[in-house]
């Protein structure tokens, strides 16, 4: 069974809450998704669960999803999985809103990064996840889908009652529409774990999102 721990972190202690997730199975092999802040709290959870971290996956490169990245990578030496289109953002060669969000620069080495492609498989213990390329919130946003378990980590693409904003650097409303259509085809009973807010099902999130687009005259 794939176990999931939701770790809510308060980015820069400013009331901006980001969801970090730890997923692992009976082998105690694990993946960490979006370590937004508070490395001590996240590392304490790793120790509590007695897991070995194989990967750190960033759904995208905004600073509120990687504010604890460097410290966790230095302790665990886990490979950092990112979309190739987010690489420059993670390396802070282009704007990732760290200053705006009050997050320290991470100064990540390029050697730590492992780029992943659409439909690529990621093995975590005895469980296989699949990378889904879902641009819109950023140019290289990705989701992680465990099809057998019907679990989807959506980052800032899909929330419990809305979708991610598209007006930041690399964002695109047109690409977001295509990504949402792609995600909605996966199945309504899938449990989604978003980058912010509550865990829900794709069926419930889809209802709210389709309504928001309907108000704009767009059919998903």
Q: Is residue 127 part of a domain?
A: yes
Residue 164, Ramachandran bin (φ over 0: left; ψ between -120 and 50: alpha; else beta):
beta
81 close to 122: Cβ distance less than 8 angstroms: yes
Q: Is residue 219 part of a domain?
A: no
CATH at 44? 3.60.15.10
Residue 177 three-state SS: helix
Per-residue pLDDT, 169: 93
pLDDT digits over 100-155, tens only? Answer: 999 999 999 999 999 999 999 999 999 999 999 999 999 999 999 999 999 999 99
Q: Is residue 174 part of a domain?
A: yes
pLDDT digits over 21-73, tens only? Answer: 999 999 999 999 999 999 999 999 999 999 999 999 999 999 999 999 999 99
Closest CA to 116 of 56, 161, 36: 56
Helix or strand run (H / E) with residue 154: strand 151-155
Question: How far is 169 from 98, CA to CA, in rounded Å?
Answer: 13
pLDDT digits over 192-207, tens only? Answer: 999 999 999 999 999 9
- Domains in the chain, number: 1
Q: Is residue 220 part of a domain?
A: no
Query: 39-49 vs 69-76: helix axis angle to the nearest 10?
Result: 40
Beta carbons within 8 Å of 84's beta carbon, 6+ residues apart: 115, 117, 140
Beta carbons within 8 Å of 34's beta carbon, 6+ residues apart: 18, 19, 20, 21, 57, 58, 59, 65, 66, 155, 195
Residue 52 three-state SS: strand
Per-residue pLDDT, 125: 96
Q: Is residue 94 part of a domain?
A: yes
Per-residue pLDDT, 220: 87
Residue range(s) defining the domain that contains residue 185:
3-214
């Amino acid at each position: 069974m794939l176990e999931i721990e939701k770790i809510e972190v308060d980015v820069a202690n400013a009331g901006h809450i980001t969801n970090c997730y730890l997923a692992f199975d009976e082998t105690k092999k694990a993946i960490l998704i979006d370590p937004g802040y508070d490395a001590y709290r996240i590392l304490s959870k790793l120790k509590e669960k007695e897991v070995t971290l194989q990967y750190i996956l960033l759904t995208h490169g905004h600073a509120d999803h990687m504010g604890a990245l460097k410290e966790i990578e230095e302790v665990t030496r886990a490979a950092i999985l990112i979309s190739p289109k987010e690489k420059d953002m993670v390396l802070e060669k282009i704007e990732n809103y760290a200053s705006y969000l009050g997050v320290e620069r991470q100064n990540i080495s390029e050697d730590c990064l492992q780029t992943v492609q659409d439909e690529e498989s990621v093995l975590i213990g005895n469980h296989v996840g699949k990378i889904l390329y879902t641009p819109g919130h950023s140019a290289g946003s990705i989701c992680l889908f465990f099809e057998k378990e019907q679990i989807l980590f959506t980052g800032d693409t899909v929330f419990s009652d809305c979708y991610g904003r598209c007006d930041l650097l690399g964002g695109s409303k047109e690409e977001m529409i295509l990504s949402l259509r792609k995600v909605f085809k996966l199945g309504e009973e899938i449990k989604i774990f978003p980058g912010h807010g509550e865990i829900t099902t794709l069926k419930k999130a889809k209802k709210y999102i389709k309504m928001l687009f309907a108000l704009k005259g767009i059919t998903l």
